[in-house]
Amino acid sequence: MVLLACLLSGAFCAVAQAQVNYAERERKASPQIKAKLDSLRKEIKTKNWHFQVNYTEAADHNLKDLTGLKVPSNLPARIQAQQKLTAGLQEKPLSGVSASLTAFDWRTHNGVTDVKDQNPCGACWDFAAVSAFEASWRLINRDVIDASEQDVLDNNEAGDDCSGGWPADALAYLKKNGCATEKDYLYKAAKKPPKNNVARPYKVQAWGYVGGPLEDTSNRNLVNTLKQKLLLWGPLAVCVYADEAFQHYGSDTFDEFASGDINHCVTLIGWDDNKQAWLIKNSWGKVWGDQGYMWIAYGCNHIGADAVWVSAQPESQSVTDADFTVTIYKDSNFSGKSVKFIVGQGRCYKLVPQLGSSAYKFNDQISSVKVGKKVGVLLYQHDNYAGKFLDCVMDISDLAKDKGWNDVTSSLIVFLRDSGSPVGVVLSSSHNQQFFPVDELGNAMVYTKVAYNDDAESVNFDVTKPSDPSWGTRIVTVYKDANLKGISQTFQADARGSQFKLDKNLSHNVSSLKIELNGTPLKR
């Protein structure tokens, strides 16, 4: 059901990566490292903390070389001045979901870039700000960028360097000057002379503080505010107190609640109320925590203090047909035979139920895909949107390498990203699922036969535009026999979507269905 949830939310479904072998690292560690870990584990047991420590790569450096936060002496005045500048700015939620959710993770909503490593240079303020900026750029422009922390480190006007700095200084530089690519301005883990003969294509449009200076980060009101801003603006640059336990963090929920002053910056990307914890992305490489990430209890070590949001500048306001087009290629790296699919003027999406038809002759022959900025594409393993599927929201040059999905696609749907996902219903079981969309203009559809006629256990309505009442109601009737015959059951959902279990007479016995839609689908 995780994959289904990704589809219904219009999300980018990330592929799990291999875990770090901390046990093997510790086996080869020095006596000093082993002694430190033993001491920390005894303290964890004595104080009944709930996290694990391991031999991280951060443990190879002095902690002061990995933190480097410098809190400005005039911070209250700076916050007040910036809040005046951003007052009245229109806030448009990027996620399409509510802050009342029990859990949220920007990694599964196309809103996080890769974990980086600042190395022994106290540039956490730089990395946290750039991380939040890259995330905003990805969400707004649907483009994964690798921005140059070195550009910010060398050229920021506040004089911040490897001995410390403040994330807002980095964002101020990005707003005024823009930023070079990592390729054009490589990271050196040391401040270098300014480099001016490079292009700086990435620019901040606006940024601001979430709250006042050093608020009580365990206060429930601030927790709720951070959740809301996280959904409005994307990942946030936040402050925290990092000590030796933090430096050696390996897994589970960090709940030390140490009382030291904030000294480090990280990126806040999600939460889980069941854990009572935030999810953060660090800049100490992937051999720290859970591949560079940490669960940290609400309010622990001042996490969330002096949070900063950022909004990237849109690349261009002009729109062309290419922005509404998906092109599939027989070979990797966008080469070989190709076919284009465009969401036509006034349409909600483009339906291609059979790639093996005489019109395409492309069944099981896709190795790369180009995706326009205004659309996404769902690739299905079988005809008529049945079986496993892949949600692509940006170009993939090698489906075999990146997703293990080459040469398996038999049908697809190109949809407008503004609409969240195609409109329709999913018949699901623990084994299979099949999506049944309404037609390309949002009209009713009849399906006289279903692929898994002895398998369905539930009906799931898609979640499209929760705040848009124009979607009206959707009604689906399922039938035991083909051609809309036999025992039937009718379900209705409003614009927020719903999920229903089938009656015992129809569970594992659905052979056909009809979808009706009252309301106006989102059109181009």
Residues 6+ apart with CB under 8 A from 40: 53, 244, 245, 248
Burial of 240 (0-12, 13-18, 19+ CB in 10 A): buried
- Return the CATH superfamily for domain 2-70+94-312: Cysteine proteinases (3.90.70.10)
Distance separating alpha carbons of residues 263 and 248, to the nearest angstrom: 16
What pLDDT sits at residue 495? 52
CATH topology of 2-70+94-312 equal to that of 423-524? no
β-bridge partners, 378? 391, 413
What pLDDT sits at residue 466? 39
- Contact assessment for residue 513 and residue 476, using Cβ atoms and an 8 Å cutoff: yes
Q: Is the pLDDT of residue 346 over 70?
A: no
Half-sphere exposure of 380 (CA within 13 A, CB side): 25
Amino acid at 307: A
Catalytic, 13? Answer: no
Q: Could you give the residue ranges of the DSSP H alpha helices within 142-260?
A: 149-155, 167-177, 220-233, 244-247
- Among 462, 472, 474, residue whose Cα is nearest residue 419: 462
What's the N-to-C CA distance of the chain in angstroms? 30
15 falls in which pLDDT band (50, 70, 90)?
very low
Distance separating alpha carbons of residues 209 and 110, to the nearest angstrom: 23
Distances from the Cα of 505 to the Cαs of 328, 454, 487, in angstroms?
Answer: 42, 12, 8
Distance separating alpha carbons of residues 308 and 293, to the nearest angstrom: 19
304 falls in which pLDDT band (50, 70, 90)?
very high
Catalytic, 300? Answer: no
359 falls in which pLDDT band (50, 70, 90)?
confident
Task: Delimit the domains of the chain by residue range.
Answer: 2-70+94-312, 423-524
Per annotation, catalytic residue among 248, 264, 302, 382:
264
pLDDT one-digit tens code per residue, 251-285: 999 999 999 999 999 999 999 999 999 999 999 99
Distance separating alpha carbons of residues 4 and 134, to the nearest angstrom: 27
pLDDT (average), residues 496-515 = 87
Per annotation, catalytic residue among 6, 13, 121, 124:
124
- Return the CATH superfamily for domain 423-524: Crystallins (2.60.20.10)
What pLDDT sits at residue 12? 36
How many other CB atoms sit within 10 Å of the CB of residue 256? 21
pTM: 0.65
pLDDT (average), residues 403-428 = 83
465 falls in which pLDDT band (50, 70, 90)?
very low
Distance separating alpha carbons of residues 244 and 52, to the nearest angstrom: 13
pLDDT one-digit tens code per residue, 176-214: 999 999 999 999 999 999 998 899 999 999 999 997 655
Q: Is the pLDDT of residue 11 over 50?
A: no
pLDDT (average), residues 302-306 = 94
